[in-house]
DNA sequence: CGATCGCTGTTAAACGATTAACAGTTAAAC
DNA sequence: GTTTAACTGTTAATCGTTTAACAGCGATCG
C-alpha cells in the first residue's frame, strides 16, 4: 500500500536514477533527459510521492511562504485583501500563512513571532495600531515586507500601500457640502488608526474651511453594537445630525443601526456617506453613497511590491504607494439645494485637489463581491 | 547586527551548553536546570534566535500546521470560520495555512496538493462541490481531517460538521406559512451544494405538504450581480412573489437588489426570509428575518473534532456533527393574518419536527461581528 | 590529434533541529 | 557500603532535500 510517505530516495531507486536527478526533475534547476524525466515522473506518480517542503526549505534556505498578518479576518475589507493575496501568491508558487491580531498589540506581537519562525520569503502586514511593532523593526532589513492600510504614510520603515485617506475624507465632505449640508457629524472608529485620522482630518478641515466651524467627531470604536449604542446615546442628547460621514464599514453599520432604532429616515432626515463599498450597501432601496477603496488594487499593489523586494533584496529605498479612492453616488445623500460652492480659488493646491475630487463613479463595482 | 539568522548551535555555544539542552529548553520535553535555562534563554534573546520550524518539522516528523481550505475567503461565512479556526489553532500552538478554491474543482485539487506537501498535522476543508476531490479520498486514512458545510451528511469519508439544513429550510418555510404566506419562491445559489439542496428540499416539501403545490425554485448562482439579473428577469415574466426564501447570503443580496430595482417594498409587497445572519441585515429600517447559522460553533466543533483526530489517530469511526440553525425574527415578513395551521397531526415525525421548530431567537447575535 | 566545451548524470556534504542512547552526579534505599 | 533511582546534561545519528563538485562522453576547435 506504500502507506508511509515515500521520500525522494524511494522515487530515485524505483526510477533507477540518483536523488539529484529526481530533485532536478521537480525543481527544474538543471535539464534532465526527457526519457529519464518521464520515468521519474511515472515513479513519483506510482509511489504517490510529494516533495517535502520542510526538507526542501531547510536545505535550500529558500522558502515559498508568504506570511500575512491582518487585524481581523472577519472584516470583509481585510478578508478580501487576504483572498487576493492568496490567489496571487499561489500563482507564483507561494503558500500563504495567515494570522490575525484581533486588534491587540500583544497578540500581534506573538503572532508575528510565530510567523517569522517560518522564515517566510516575505511578509505583508496590516499593523493594528499606528506604532509599528518592535518585531518588525528588528527584522526590517532582512525580510522583504510591505505594510498595508494602517500605516502613517510618512516615516515608514518599509514599503507601504495605502489610499489617499485625507483626500478620501475631503471627497466625502465635499460631496455633502455641495449638496447643501452644513450640519455634519463625522463618525470614526479610532483616531489612533492613521487612515482614520487622516480621513477625519481631511473631512473636518474641509468642512471647517467652508463653513467656518469644525464638525463634531464621534468615536464609535470597532465594535458595531457598542458603536450603535454610543451614537444612539449621542443622538438623545443632541438632535439627529443632518448628515454623517462614517469612516469605516463598521461605523457605517453602527450609524445605520442607531438611525434605524430611532426611526430616522435616510436621506430625508439625515444623509449619510459611508466608507468601503460592499454589496449590501447597494442592495436596499436607498442605496448608500460611499467612498470605495480599491481593495483589489491595494492587494495587487502590495503583492507587486513584495515581489520586487523579494527579487531585488531589501536594500532599495523604501517607497510608499498611495492609491485613490472613489466616490460612488447612490441615494443616501439628500440634496438641500445644490448651491455649487465657488471653487475655493486662490489656493493652487486646493485647486488641484478639487480637480481630483471629481471621482464620481456610477456602476456597480465588479470588484466588490 | 548578528545579521544572519543564528542556529541552535550558536545559542548553545554562547550559553556554554549542548544543542540538546537548548532544544529541551525550547520544547520543554525534558526538564532543564533553572540556571541553565535562564542562560540559554538569555543567549537566545541576545542573539535573536528563533527556532526554525522547517528543521524542527523535518527532524521530528511532527508538524504544527493546520491546512484550511475554503471555497471563497471573501464570503464572510467562510472568513469567519477561518478566523475562528486560526484563533483556536494559535492557542494550541498551531499555525494555519489557508487556501481558497474559488469554487473551482480543478483549483481545489491543485491547492489541496500544495497544502498536503506541507504534511500538515490536520486539514479542515469546505469542499467546493458535492463530490469529494480524489486527493482527499487518497489520504483520508493517513491525515486527520474534518469536512465542513458543503458535504452530504450521509456517506461521508471523514468527520463532518454541518447544520441541519433540511430543518433550517423547514423553519424558514414554516415561518412564512404561519404568517399566512402561500405564494413563496425559493431562491437558491446552486442545488449541487448539498446544504443548499437540503435547505431547498426542506422548505419545498413542507410548503408542498401544507399548500398542496411545490413552490418555484430559482437558481441564482453564486454571483450577486448575475443572480440579481436572473431574479429581476424572472419577476418581469411573472408577478413579484408574495414571499421569498433566500438560501444563501449572496442570493439574499441578489434578491434584495432586484427587489430594490423594481421598487418593491419589503415586507408590504413581498416578504423575505434570509440565510446567514450578518450585521448589515439588522442595521436598516426593516431588518431582515433570517436563519442564523451558528458560525462560531461550527468552527469550534470542527476544531474540537480535529483535535480529537490528531490525538486519537485516524482509525476511530467517522462521526458527523449536526448543529442547529435558529430563526431570527425581524421585520421582513409581513403578517397576512396569522392563521396558526393545525399542527400537521397524524405523522409522528412531523410532530417532532414541529417541536424542534420553535427556534426563535430575539437578540442581536454577539457572535456576529 | 589533444584540448576544450557542453550536456547529463552522480556522489556526498550540508541545512538546523530532535532524540535515542549514554554518562555523570547526587540522593535515597537496602 | 553498594545498589538503585532520579535528575540533568551530552554525543551523535538522523529527518528529506538541495547543490557544489565532479565525472563520463560526444562534438567541436585550433
pLDDT in tens, B251-289: 999 999 999 999 999 999 999 999 998 999 999 989 999
Closest listed residue to residue A176, CA positions, set A5, A356, A329, A4: A329
Beta bridge mates, B243: B184, B271
Give the distance from residue A341's alpha carbon to the nearest chain B alpha carbon, in angstroms: 32
- Give the Cα separation of A104 and A100 in Å (integer): 9
In the three-class reduction of DSSP (H, G, I as helix; E, B as strand; rest coil), residue A348 is classed as: helix
Structure confidence at residue A133 (pLDDT): 74
Using the 8-state DSSP alphabet, how is residue B266 labeled? T
Contacts for B128 with CB less than 8 Å, ≥ 6 apart: B71, B101, B102, B103, B104, B105, B108, B150
> Which alpha helices (DSSP H) does chain B contain, by range?
8-15, 19-27, 34-47, 53-60, 76-91, 105-116, 134-139, 165-178, 194-211, 224-237, 249-261, 279-282, 295-312, 348-356
Specify the CATH number of the domain B165-293+325-360.
3.40.50.2300
Whether residue B77 contacts residue B108, with contact meaning beta carbons closer than 8 Å, is answered with no
Whether the CB of A57 is less than 7 Å away from nucleic strand C comes out as no
Neighbours of B213 (CB within 10 A): 10
Residue nearest to nucleotide D7 (CA to C1'): B31
Whether residue A215 contacts residue A186, with contact meaning beta carbons closer than 8 Å, is answered with yes
| B7 vs A: CB within 8 A | no
Peptide bond into A152 cis (omega under 30): no
Whether the CB of B271 is less than 7 Å away from nucleic strand C comes out as no
pLDDT 10s digits, B195-231? 999 999 999 999 999 999 999 999 999 889 999 999 9
> CA torsion sign, A130 to A136 to A141 to A147?
negative
Q: Residue A264: phi, psi to the nearest 5? A: -100, 125
B30 nearest nucleotide via C1' and CA: D8
Structure confidence at residue A340 (pLDDT): 53
Q: Which nucleotides of C are covered by protein (CB under 7 A)?
A: 7-12, 14-21
**What ranges do the domains of chain A cover?**
8-51, 63-163+295-323, 165-293+325-360
Instruction: Give the DSSP per-residue string, A201-246.
Output: HHHHHHHHHHHSSPPEEEE--S-HHHHHHHHHHHHHHSPPPSEEEE
In the three-class reduction of DSSP (H, G, I as helix; E, B as strand; rest coil), residue A99 is classed as: strand
pLDDT 10s digits, B76-131? 999 999 999 999 999 998 999 999 999 999 999 989 988 988 889 999 999 988 77
| Local confidence band at B355 (pLDDT 50, 70, 90 cut-offs) | very low
Structure confidence at residue B117 (pLDDT): 87
Structure confidence at residue B245 (pLDDT): 98
CATH topology match: A63-163+295-323 vs A165-293+325-360? yes
Give the three cell numbers for residue A126.
Answer: 496590516
Structure confidence at residue B30 (pLDDT): 86
Whether the CB of A9 is less than 7 Å away from nucleic strand D comes out as yes
Q: Which of B98, B104, B249, B254 to mutate to test the interface with A (most CBs of A within 10 A)?
A: B98
Structure confidence at residue B291 (pLDDT): 97
Q: What is the rounded average pLDDT for all residues in chain B?
A: 87
Structure confidence at residue A342 (pLDDT): 45
- Give the Cα separation of A248 and A271 in Å (integer): 16
pLDDT 10s digits, B157-196? 889 999 999 999 999 999 999 999 999 999 999 999 999 9
pLDDT of residue B147 exceeding 90, the answer is: yes
Q: Crossing angle for the helix pair A76-91 and A295-312, nearest 10 degrees?
A: 40
Chain B positions in Cβ-Cβ contact with residue A55 (cut-off 8 Å): 54, 58
Structure confidence at residue A338 (pLDDT): 58
Could you please state the CATH topology (level 3) that the domain comprising A63-163+295-323 is classified under: Rossmann fold (3.40.50)
| Local confidence band at B368 (pLDDT 50, 70, 90 cut-offs) | very low
Question: Domain A8-51, CATH 1.10.486.10 — does that match?
Answer: no
Which residues of chain A have a pLDDT value below 50? 1-2, 341-369
- Give the Cα separation of B202 and B200 in Å (integer): 5
Contacts for A286 with CB less than 8 Å, ≥ 6 apart: A266, A267, A330, A331, A332
Whether residue B98 contacts residue A73, with contact meaning beta carbons closer than 8 Å, is answered with no
Structure confidence at residue B367 (pLDDT): 36
Q: What is the rounded average pLDDT for all residues in chain A?
A: 87
pLDDT of residue B3 exceeding 90, the answer is: no
What's the CA–C1' distance between A19 and C6, in Å?
Answer: 23
pLDDT of residue B352 exceeding 60, the answer is: no
Contacts for A219 with CB less than 8 Å, ≥ 6 apart: A188, A189, A190, A191, A230
Whether residue B83 contacts residue A68, with contact meaning beta carbons closer than 8 Å, is answered with no
Report CA dihedral (A282, A287, A290, A294) to the nearest 10 degrees: 10
| A47 vs B: CB within 8 A | no
Amino acid at each position: 500500500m506504500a502507506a508511509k510517505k515515500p521520500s525522494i530516495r524511494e522515487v530515485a531507486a524505483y526510477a533507477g536514477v540518483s536523488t539529484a536527478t529526481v530533485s532536478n526533475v521537480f525543481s527544474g534547476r538543471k535539464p534532465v533527459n526527457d526519457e529519464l524525466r518521464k520515468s521519474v515522473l511515472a515513479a513519483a506518480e506510482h509511489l504517490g510521492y510529494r516533495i517535502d517542503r520542510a526538507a526542501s526549505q531547510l536545505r535550500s534556505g529558500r522558502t515559498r511562504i508568504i506570511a500575512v498578518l491582518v487585524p481581523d479576518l472577519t472584516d470583509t475589507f481585510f478578508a478580501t485583501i487576504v483572498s487576493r493575496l492568496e490567489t496571487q501568491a499561489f500563482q507564483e508558487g507561494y503558500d500563504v500563512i495567515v494570522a490575525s491580531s484581533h486588534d491587540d498589540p500583544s497578540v500581534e506581537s506573538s503572532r508575528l513571532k510565530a510567523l517569522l519562525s517560518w522564515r517566510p520569503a516575505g511578509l505583508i502586514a496590516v499593523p493594528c495600531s499606528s506604532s509599528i511593532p518592535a518585531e518588525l523593526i528588528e527584522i526590517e532589513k532582512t525580510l522583504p515586507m510591505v505594510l498595508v492600510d494602517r500605516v502613517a504614510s510618512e516615516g515608514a520603515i518599509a514599503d507601504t500601500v495605502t489610499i489617499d485617506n485625507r483626500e478620501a475624507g475631503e471627497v466625502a465632505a465635499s460631496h455633502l457640502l455641495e449638496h447643501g449640508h452644513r450640519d455634519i457629524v463625522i463618525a470614526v472608529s479610532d483616531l489612533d488608526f492613521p487612515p482614520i485620522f487622516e480621513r477625519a482630518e481631511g473631512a473636518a478641515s474641509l468642512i471647517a474651511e467652508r463653513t467656518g466651524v469644525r464638525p463634531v467627531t464621534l468615536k464609535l470604536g470597532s465594535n458595531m453594537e457598542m458603536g450603535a449604542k454610543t451614537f444612539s446615546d449621542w443622538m438623545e442628547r443632541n438632535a439627529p445630525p443632518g448628515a454623517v460621514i462614517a469612516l469605516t464599514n463598521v461605523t457605517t453599520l453602527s450609524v445605520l443601526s442607531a438611525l434605524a432604532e430611532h426611526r430616522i429616515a435616510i436621506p430625508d432626515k439625515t444623509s449619510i456617506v459611508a466608507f468601503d463599498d460592499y454589496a449590501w450597501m447597494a442592495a436596499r432601496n436607498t442605496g448608500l453613497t460611499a467612498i470605495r477603496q480599491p481593495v483589489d488594487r491595494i492587494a495587487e499593489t502590495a503583492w507587486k511590491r513584495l515581489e520586487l523586494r523579494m527579487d531585488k533584496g531589501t536594500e532599495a529605498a523604501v517607497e510608499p504607494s498611495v492609491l485613490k479612492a472613489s466616490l460612488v453616488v447612490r441615494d443616501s445623500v439628500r440634496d438641500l439645494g445644490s448651491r455649487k460652492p465657488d471653487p475655493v480659488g486662490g489656493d493652487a493646491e486646493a485647486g488641484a485637489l478639487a480637480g481630483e475630487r471629481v471621482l464620481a463613479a456610477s456602476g456597480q463595482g465588479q470588484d466588490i463581491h
